[in-house]
Structure 1
Amino acid sequence: MVPRPGRRSRLPRPRKVHPVVRTSARRFAPAVLLLASTFLAAGCTLPAFAPRTEAQPAGPPGTAPTWQACPEVAEELVGRTAPGMRYECTRITVPRNWADGATATSGPGAGETFEIALLRARSMNQRDRIGSLLINPGGPGGSGVDTAVYLSFPAAVGGLPASVTDHFDIVGFDPRGVARSSPVECISDANLDASFGYDPDPESQQSFDGFVELNQRIGRECGDRYGDQLALYSTEQAAHDIEAIRAAVGDEKVTYLGYSYGTLLGATYAQLHPERVRALVLDGAIDPRLDLVASAESQAMGFERAFDNFALWCSTNPDRCPIAPAARDAVTSAIDKARVSPVLGDDGREATPGWIFYAVVSSLYTEVGWEQLAQAIEELEDGDATEVFRLADAYAGREPDGTYSNLFDANLAVNCADEEEKPSWEQIRQLQSQWREQYPLFGPALAVGMLACTEWPGGRDPYPTGPADGAPPILVVGTTGDPATPYEQTPALAEMLGVGRVLTWEGEGHTAYPQTACINAAVDAYLVDLTVPAEGKRCPPQ
């Protein structure tokens, strides 16, 4: 089930953006995860997504929305509202199919609509308002409504700097098919459990065939429910929705902050509406030109590199890493033992290789997760799977009662609608063996993860991959130790857009803003004053 941050990678982040059935997740994003980790460190408890509260009913497409106060979203999500912030919610109506200028009279979704949920956080200290800052946390499947709440809190606990909130409304939106926005829901909790718990490297033919059958079952269930409408959850359709949001909030041009998959969505918007771009920050960049296989391999390489960085940290910090000095051996051994004799968790689940694998994945999204991973593997060796399940469930968005949000449903629907080509079982099986040699811990899982889209029904709607001619400079931010969207994709996206300017953080984890003073200063100056960082600007580790 490795989800993908972007259009193809199937390993999204650990916080509730669940990737389902393993597709490579080029878009995994976990900026929200990073924010959740920050809040958790500060002593707050954050569920992955806020309950879906009722908002003002949406009007017909093109009508101005009516906003209503909704502090309960922050209260239910975080336990309180951010000091000095007001929250308002609304919904807008958009065509299901934007083909032919939103006047399609035939084909999937013709004449039908989706509702898009929005939340606006406005500082009571706001002055010299510039406009709205639209937020997308990635996934695909992440809730922008939730993320806007997180980012509305003070910078000291992981929110946006006051220099930004003083000038912008923070506007989060749940993209079509996600959370509160006409959610796509077709994968059962049982199938999600089976997918996350499945051996990440099904080596025998029987085990591989079992995973094929699981993906076929999921594809059948979703196809039976949505049919050819599945193609309408594509990134290009969602990018058209951003234009409708821009008009609804009354901004002449878009100012946008997108993480991970959100960089793909933002880049697509910039190609479709370059004249409507004011400023775009694309953090945790995805190279849209990579096909499914290349994207999955890139992510396998990124996670292997991140794990090597974790292992090096372990060897140099044995007082904080109980599995030092051989962290890789310890993790590999834990997975191998689980194939024969998995540890039983308190809830009756077995800590199978899949759950251990996702605990590892979850921990690599942030450097703060490294110590938690080491502790979890040590405790597993002692017969206690509590920490392994806690980490894996955080990634999967699994609640204590065994239910899931629709994160992975949306993740698959978007990723597979975007994918023009899909590899065959035979090609995937060959790559599984090949990548086992090159990327031993993550390669096989990312190879077999591609089965999700191979078995996915519905049509395809690939997004454009070209320059954003006519757009102003676009800031593309990359982290050198990013596992989910490897740094190499950052300059590639900037080059493709033609107007991209690269900002580099020499740090660890997935995405960079707002985490360090250097990154914050550069991004804030760009958002507020449109000051573009110097060519080749690099920021040191924390």
Structure 2
Amino acid sequence: MKKIYLAAAAALCLGALMPAVPAAAEVTWGTCPPDPPYPPAAKGITCGKVTVPVDWSQPDGEKIEIFVSRSKARKKKIGTLITNPGGPGNPGATPVMMAGEEFPDEVLDSFDIIGFDPRGVGRSSGLECEAGPIEQPTTSKEFAALVATNRTLGQSCREKTGALFDHLDTGSVAQDVEAIRQALGEEKISFLGQSYGTLIGQQYAQLHPERLNSLVLDSVVDHSIKNPARLLRDGAAEAERALKKSLRTTVATLFARADQGTLTHKGEKVTPQMLTELLNGYLRVGGTPELDSSLKALATGKGEVRWLHSGGEIMFRATWCQDFSATFTNFTDYRTAMAEARKVAPYVRGNSQAINFVLGCQGWPAKVANPPAAHSFTGVPTLVASHTVDLATPHTWATRVHRRVPGSKLLTMEGTGHITYARMGLTAPKQCMNRKITGFLLTGKVTGTTCGN
């Protein structure tokens, strides 16, 4: 078994249920500790901790520490920008510790940039579990075994972790962000959320809109989805959109052989699940010549197949399963939902990440502490950014969130990919996205709606 660290959405009613965030102590900044295998923090970066309650409904109860990092504005400061790179499970303090490589110069010059490891992640008070890959069940017996395995794993995690196990939802993380703001002594902040970090941003804006100067949601999670079948369908449809029409005949033939048990590679049987994983792995990054050559090798029996998987880690479940109602009552319901997903993705046959998310929650013992909600807020300058095709966070999610937030702007990058705002590996469309998103952070305004070739 592989050792991993499981990471940490306030629903509309959450603000009413939770007491006001108590004033947090000021951050004591100091040298950032080593974080192998990452390089040491860049010159001038400082780190500290913010103390928060495990359970925000009991602010005087057990406490945990949230690890934070800071890159001070290099020139005239216009504000403070708190960021999160998503996951859930990515250590958000690390990108800021490497700030010179992660953010455009204009942002580094103008903002104090704050990163943080969410509760359960990295150098914050965390959750350690043993975990392995998720196998898709094909029978009711296999489904029951998956449920039992997930329940046993979750109960073991709870025993090792204590109360924190049941409070890794994104609603709690959003309250942590407010504690960080108070500890910084800032009246208002800007927030940049990427991937799952966009859910933190939406929920923070829901709870504390008056505390935001601006909000950027890059590659957006839609928290309004109330059942796992919808999650599977949305993901499958996006994966199908990513597959080039020129590959469909080859893919259909390969799946037919896999269904019959006659598709092999180097003497090993290739299952339909393996083929879906292979396709998703390459389609997630926009498809590459290696996908074409790998499919040709499978079809002819000559050449190499480069198995690029889309990911099967279950580190997401500690948060995901508390944010989404993702469980099926029984195997029949799961099989029906998979059949519906296959109807919208007859060639790709599903989205591996969506499948893994959903299967990871079957039997997971934590309750849905942060139920799905259609987050909406007013008075916050909001920019929603997305690729036209994104297997991790479908473009349809971005359009839904954009429609729900009055006055928000939708900025679309043509092509397939995930995360539009990055300093490294800049193509012309990404340079365009960087200019527009940076301009929005600096001025609260954006011109145009698309970036393309």
**TM norm structure 1:** 0.69
Partner of 2:82: 134
**In structure 2, what residue type is equivalent to 1:285?**
V
Is the aligned partner of 1:286 residue 2:195?
no
After TM superposition, give the deviation of residue 122 of structure 1 in Å: 4.1
Summarize the Cα distance change of 1:539–1:444 in structure 2 as closer, same or farther, 3 Å threshold: closer
Aligned residues of 2:225 and 2:324 also touching (Cα < 8 A) = no
| Corresponding residue of 1:437 | 343
The whole-number CA distance in structure 1 between the counterparts of 2:155 and 2:207 is 33
Give SS of 1:450's match: helix
Please state how far the C-alpha of 1:376 moved relative to its aligned partner. Answer: 5.0
Decide whether aligned partners of structure 1 residues 454 and 491 sit closer, same or farther in structure 2, where only a CA change above 3 A counts. Answer: same
Cross-structure match for 1:321:
none
Question: Mapping of 1:264-413 within 5 angstroms?
Answer: 264-293=199-228, 294-306=230-242, 308=243, 311-312=244-245, 315=246, 326=249, 328-329=251-252, 332=255, 357-367=276-286, 370-377=288-295, 387-388=306-307, 391-392=308-309, 395=311, 408-409=314-315, 411-413=316-318
Q: Aligned partners of 2:100, 2:297: CA distance in 1, in Å?
A: 36
Structure-2 change in CA distance of 1:342 and 1:148 (3 Å):
farther
Say if 2:427 is the partner of 1:522.
Answer: no
1:455-483 CA-partner distances (Å, limit 9, x unpaired) = 111232225534223x3221111221112
1:52-67 mapped onto 2 (5 Å cutoff) = 62-67=24-29
Given the superposition, is the C-alpha separation of residues 378 and 335 from structure 1 closer, same or farther in structure 2, using an over 3 Å criterion? Answer: same
Do the aligned partners of residues 234 and 448 (structure 1) sit closer, same or farther apart at CA in structure 2, a change above 3 Å counting? closer
Distance 1:417 1:325, change over 3 A: closer
Label 1:305 to 1:417 Cα distance change in 2 as closer, same or farther (>3 A).
same
Distance 1:243 1:205 in 2: 45
Q: Where in structure 2 are the equivalents of 1:65-214 lying within 5 Å?
A: 65-70=27-32, 72-73=34-35, 76-77=37-38, 79=39, 85-99=43-57, 102-103=59-60, 111-122=61-72, 126-149=74-97, 152-153=100-101, 159-186=102-129, 188-189=130-131, 192-193=132-133, 195=134, 198=135, 200=136, 202-214=137-149
Of all paired residues, the percent bearing the same amino acid is 30
Structure 1 alignment gaps of length 5 or more? 1-16, 21-25, 27-59, 104-110, 154-158, 316-323, 398-407
User: What TM-score results when the alignment is normalised by the length of structure 2?
Assistant: 0.81
What do the CA deviations read for 1:469-519 (whole angstroms, capped 9, x no partner)? 3x3221111221112211122232123233422122222211211352322
**Aligned residue type for 1:91:** K
Tell me the alpha carbon deviations over residues 347-391 of structure 1, each in whole angstroms, 9 at most, x when there is no partner: xxx987656644443333323x52344455566755866x42xx3
Q: CA deviation at 1:341?
A: 5.6
The corresponding residue for 2:401 is: 493
Change (3 A) 1:513 1:112: same
Instruction: Give the match's secondary structure for 1:519.
Output: helix
Q: 1:76 to 1:447 in 2, by over 3 A?
A: closer
Aligned to 1:242: 177
- Determine the C-alpha separation between the residues in 2 that align with 1:87 and 1:448: 36
Matched with 1:539 is 450
- For 2:15, the equivalent position in structure 1 comes to none
> Deviations 1:316-346 (Å, cap 9, x if unpaired)?
xxxxxxxx6855347647966989767599x
Q: Structure 1 pair 366/19, CA: closer, same or farther in 2 (3 Å)?
A: farther
1:71 Cα deviation from its structure 2 partner:
7.7
Q: SS at 1:305's partner residue?
A: helix
Deviations 1:116-135 (A, max 9, x none): 11122346xx1111233211
**Does residue 418 in structure 1 map to residue 356 in structure 2?**
no
Runs of 5+ unmatched residues, structure 2 = 10-21
- Alpha carbons 1:506, 1:538 under 8 Å: kept: no
Q: 2:18 maps to which residue?
A: none
Contact (CA 8 Å) 1:283, 1:511: kept in 2 or not? yes
Q: Could you tell me how far apart the structure 1 residues matched to 2:311 and 2:98 are?
A: 18
Q: Which residue in 2 is equivalent to 1:453?
A: 361
Letter paired with 1:265: I
Q: Is contact 1:229-1:458 (8 Å) kept?
A: no
Q: Could you tell me how far apart the structure 2 residues matched to 1:335 and 1:281 are?
A: 43
CA drift of 1:238 comes to 0.4
Q: CA deviation at 1:292?
A: 3.1
Tell me: CA distance 1:267–1:379, structure 2 relative to 1, closer, same or farther (3 Å): same
| Partner SS state of residue 45, structure 2 | strand
**Conservation of the 8 A alpha-carbon contact between 1:136 and 1:258:** yes
**Across the two proteins, how many residue pairs are aligned to each other?**
425
Aligned 8 A contact 2:222 2:401 in 1: yes
Describe the superposition over 1:402-447 as per-residue Cα deviations: whole angstroms up to 9, x where unpaired.
xxxxxx43x2111111235733123212212332333243438545
Call closer, same or farther: CA 1:217–1:457 in 2, change over 3 Å.
same
Separation of aligned partners in 1, 2:261 and 2:51 = 48
Amino acid at match of 1:96: V
Matched residues in 1 for 2:172 and 2:180: separation?
Answer: 13
Equivalent residue number for residue 263 of structure 1: 198
Q: CA deviation at 1:230?
A: 3.0
Report Cα offsets for 1:185-241 as digits up to 9, x if no partner. Answer: 22x24xx14x2xx2x4x4344544444444344334334445765331111110000
Secondary structure of 1:99's partner?
coil
What is the CA distance between 1:81 and its match in structure 2?
6.1
Q: Counterparts of 2:198 and 2:62 in 1: how far apart (Å)?
A: 28
Partner secondary structure for residue 255 of structure 1: strand
CA 1:496/1:209 → structure 2, altered by over 3 Å: closer, same or farther?
Answer: same
Which residue identity does 2:27 align to in structure 1? P
- Given that 1:137 and 1:260 are in contact with CA atoms closer than 8 Å, whether structure 2 keeps it comes out as yes
